Amino acid sequence: MKRAVISLFAGTAVIAAIAASGAIAAGPEAPSSGKKVWMSTGSERDEALKLTPNAENGKDVYEVCTACHMPEGWGLTDGTFPQVAGQHRTVIIKQLEDIREGNRDNPTMYPFAKPSEIGGAQAVADVAEYIARNLKMNPKPGYGPGTDLELGKKLYADNCVRCHGAGGEGDAEKYYPRIQAQHYAYLLRQYQWIKEGKRRNANPDMVEQIKNFTDRDTQAVLDYVSRLPAPPDLVGAADWKNPDFK
C-alpha cells in the first residue's frame, strides 16, 4: 500500500513526508498509530495519582456523576452504567483519565467528565478519593444466566487469578480493577472491547490471555465473576442510601 502511494505520487515532497511520519523508518514492532504503551507516563493521570486528594471537594465533583452512576455508585444492573462503588482509587483515576484522554470511547459520559466541566488533575484525584472512600457496594449486582458456572470457575482460576486475584478483588498498586460483583452485562461489553482493542490503553497481557476465548468461555467466566462476592465491609445494605445526596 505504502509503495503504491509512493509510485503514484513520485514527488520527493510526498516521500519526505511519509519518511518523516515514521511510516517507513519504524520497524514492525512499532505500535500502530493511536495506540500507546500501556501506562505510559507524562499524562494528567500521573499528576492525579500523586496529588493529595480532598474528599470534601470530591463530593461536590461527584454530584454530576450521580445522574448515571447513581448517588450510591451502584450503576444499573442492566450494565448501561457500571458500578463504581468499591473500585480502587488508582483504577478510578486510570479509567477516568482514559475516558478524558480518548483512550476509551464513552460519548455518554465524556461531556460531563471533561476538564472544562469538572476541572483538572485535582478534581480527578478528589472524586476518585470520594468514591473509593465513601461508597458502599451494591449487594445485588446484575448476574449472568448461571448455567455454566463450573466452566467459568475453571477458566477464571487458569486465566484471571494472577492479575484480578482469587476473589476478583484486583490490585490497586498495579491498576488491576476490582471485577467481583460488577454487573454481568457491563463486564461482557468491556471484555469484548478489551479483546477487540477498542479500549486503547488496556493491559496488553490481558488481551493476549483472552484472545482465544470463545463466546461460551466469555459468558461462563464473566457470569462467575459477577457472582464473586465483595468483602462484607465494602458492601452496603440493600436499602443503603448515600447520605450525601438525599
Cβ at position 31, least distance to ligand HEC in Å = 15
Q: Is 160 in the site for ligand HEC (CB under 6 A)?
A: yes
Q: Is 69 in the site for ligand HEC (CB under 6 A)?
A: yes
Residue (141 or 177) nearer to ligand HEC, CB: 177
Would you give the binding string for ligand HEC spanning residues 172-211, x where CB under 6 A is met? ---xxx-x--x----x-xxx--x----x-xxx-xx--xx-
Q: Quote the distance between the C-alpha of residue 54 and its chain's center.
A: 23
Residue (6 or 38) nearer to ligand HEC, CB: 38
Q: How many residues lie near ligand HEC (CB under 6 A)?
A: 49
Q: Count H helices, E strands: the chain?
A: 13, 0
Would you give the binding string for ligand HEC spanning residues 81-120, x where CB under 6 A is met? xx-x--x----x--xx-x-----x-x-xx--xx----x--
Count CA atoms closer than 13 A to 36's CA, side-chain side.
15
Q: Is 219 in the site for ligand HEC (CB under 6 A)?
A: no
Cβ at position 26, least distance to ligand HEC in Å = 24
d(CA 131, CA 91): 11
How distant, in Å, are the alpha carbons of 9, 29, 31, 217 from that of 15? 8, 22, 21, 47
Identify residue 160 by its one-letter amino acid code.
C
Query: C-alpha cell of 55?
Result: 474528599
d(CA 107, CA 116): 16
Residue of 225, 228, 230, 235 that binds ligand HEC (CB under 6 A): 225
Cβ at position 46, least distance to ligand HEC in Å = 15
Q: Is 59 in the site for ligand HEC (CB under 6 A)?
A: no
Rounded (10°) CA dihedral 85, 48, 58, 71? -30
For residue 40, report the phi and psi dihedrals to the nearest 5 degrees: -60, 150
The closest of 24, 32, 30, 5 to 197, measured between CA atoms, is: 32
d(CA 235, CA 141): 11
- Name the residues that contact ligand HEC, by CB under 6 A: 61, 64-65, 67-69, 81-82, 84, 87, 92, 95-96, 98, 104, 106, 108-109, 112-113, 118, 127, 155, 159-160, 162-164, 175-177, 179, 182, 187, 189-191, 194, 199, 201-203, 205-206, 209-210, 221-222, 225
